[in-house]
Amino acid sequence: MRDPSLLGPWVRRFLMEHMIHERNLAQNTQRSYRDTLRLLLPMVARRARKPVDRLAVTDVSADRVRQFLSELEQKRGCSIATRNQRLAAIHALARFIAVHAPELVEWCGQVRAVPFKKARRTLVTYLEKPEMDALLATPDLTTAQGRREHALLLFMYNAGTRADETAQVRICDLSLPQVPGRDLASVLIRGKGNKPRRCPLWAQAIRELSALVQGRGPNEHVFLNRCGQPITRFGIHTLVERSALRAAKRMPSLAKKRVSPHTIRHTTATHLLRSGVDINTIRAWLGHVSLTTTNVYAEVDLEMKAKALANCEVEGKKIGRPWKENKGLMEFLRTL
C-alpha cells in the first residue's frame, strides 16, 4: 500500500479481502457493512472538507463517528438496533486497520471506545392460531398466483424461515417423499452465515410444494413472483403485509399487530412450544446459534405462564367448622 494513511485503500481491502476471503461473511452482512460505509464516508468528507478519495484514516475520528450515529437516529429516523449495527461495522473496519497498521492502534482504540447504545427490549409479536389461519386463508386458491402465495405463506409457517432464507430455497433443496406417508420430507435451509439446517415438512406443505415445482429444473428457485422471476425478500415482505391487511377484515385483532415475515417465524416457534416441542429442538428448527435467543419465546407466551402459575399455586388451608358446631363430637362427649 503506497500511502497507509489514506482510508480508501483500507476500505477496499476490508470489503474485498477481509470480509470475503478471510471471514467468508454472508452476502447480507457484506451489504450491510458496505451500506454503512456509503453513509459514513460522505458525511466525514463534508465535515473534513475533503473529497472522499482523499480522506485519511484519522479523519474518521471518534467524534465524527458519534456525529454520524446521531444523524442516523435524528435525521434518518433509524432505530437503536440499526444504529448499533452501523457502529459494529465501523468497529470491524477499525480493528482490521489496526491489525495491519500498528501505528494506527491508538486511533482504533478511540473509535472502538464509542459505545453501543442500550436498546429497550420489546416483546416478540406472534399470531394466535385463528389469526394465522386467517392469514393463510387470504390467497385466492382458484388462481395460479393465489396458490403460489398460499404455498409460500404455508412454507414459512411450517419451516419458520426468514424472508431471505425463503427466497433462496431451490427445488434441489426439497426432499419430497417418493411414497407419501412412508418417506420423510424435509427442506434444506441456508441460514445466517450460510449455516445449513434441515426442517421437516407437513403433509399439506408437501402437496402444495410438489404441485408448485412439478416439471421445473432442480436449480430453479421454488418461489417465483407474478412475473415468473425468483421472488426477493422485499417481495415476500410486501406479500405478507398485503395478506395481513386482507386478513384483518375478518380477524380485527390483526389490525393491532405489525405483521411481517419475522412475525410468522415467531408464530412458528411459539406454536411449536405450545405443542410440547422442547426448546432445544426449536433452536435447531429456527437455526439459532444460542439457546438464549430461543428462550425469548418461553418468556412471551402468557398462556404457558398462566398454566405454569396454576400448577405452582399454593392451596390455602381449608377452614373447618368451629368445634362448637360439631354436634356429633359434643354428643359423644356427653355420653362418656
User: Per residue in 22-62, pLDDT tens?
Assistant: 888 878 888 999 999 999 999 999 999 999 999 999 999 99
Please indicate whether residue 265 is annotated as part of the active site: yes
Residue range 261-317, pLDDT digits in tens: 999 999 998 898 888 888 888 888 888 877 777 777 766 665 556 665 566 555 555
- The helix, strand and coil proportions of the chain, stated in percent and rounded to the nearest 5, come to 60, 5, 30
Residue 192 banded pLDDT, cuts 50, 70, 90: confident
Catalytically annotated residue among 18, 83, 190, 288: 288
Q: Report whether 108 contacts 14 (CB < 8 A).
A: no
Q: Report whether 135 contacts 127 (CB < 8 A).
A: yes
Catalytically annotated residue among 148, 197, 265, 283: 265
Please indicate whether residue 192 is annotated as part of the active site: yes
Q: Report whether 124 contacts 160 (CB < 8 A).
A: no
Residue intervals of the chain classified under CATH 1.10.443.10 are 129-309
Ramachandran region, residue 83 (left: φ > 0; alpha: ψ -120 to 50; beta: rest):
alpha
d(CA 224, CA 244): 20
Please indicate whether residue 262 is annotated as part of the active site: yes
Name the pTM for this structure: 0.70
Please indicate whether residue 121 is annotated as part of the active site: no
Report pLDDT for 276. 83
Report pLDDT for 13. 92
Q: How far is CA 206 from CA 130, 152, 166, 185, 292, in A?
A: 22, 12, 15, 7, 32
- One-letter amino acid for residue 48 of the chain: A
Query: Mean pLDDT in the chain?
Result: 86
Catalytically annotated residue among 18, 83, 150, 162: 162
Catalytically annotated residue among 33, 126, 157, 297: 297
Residue intervals of the chain classified under CATH 1.10.150 are 7-112
Residue range 145-181, pLDDT digits in tens: 999 999 999 999 999 999 999 999 999 999 988 766 6
Catalytically annotated residue among 18, 83, 197, 262: 262
- Decide which of 192 and 220 is more confident: 220
Classified by CATH at the fold level, domain 129-309 comes out as: hpI Integrase; Chain A (1.10.443)
The answer regarding whether domain 7-112 maps to CATH 1.10.150 reads: yes
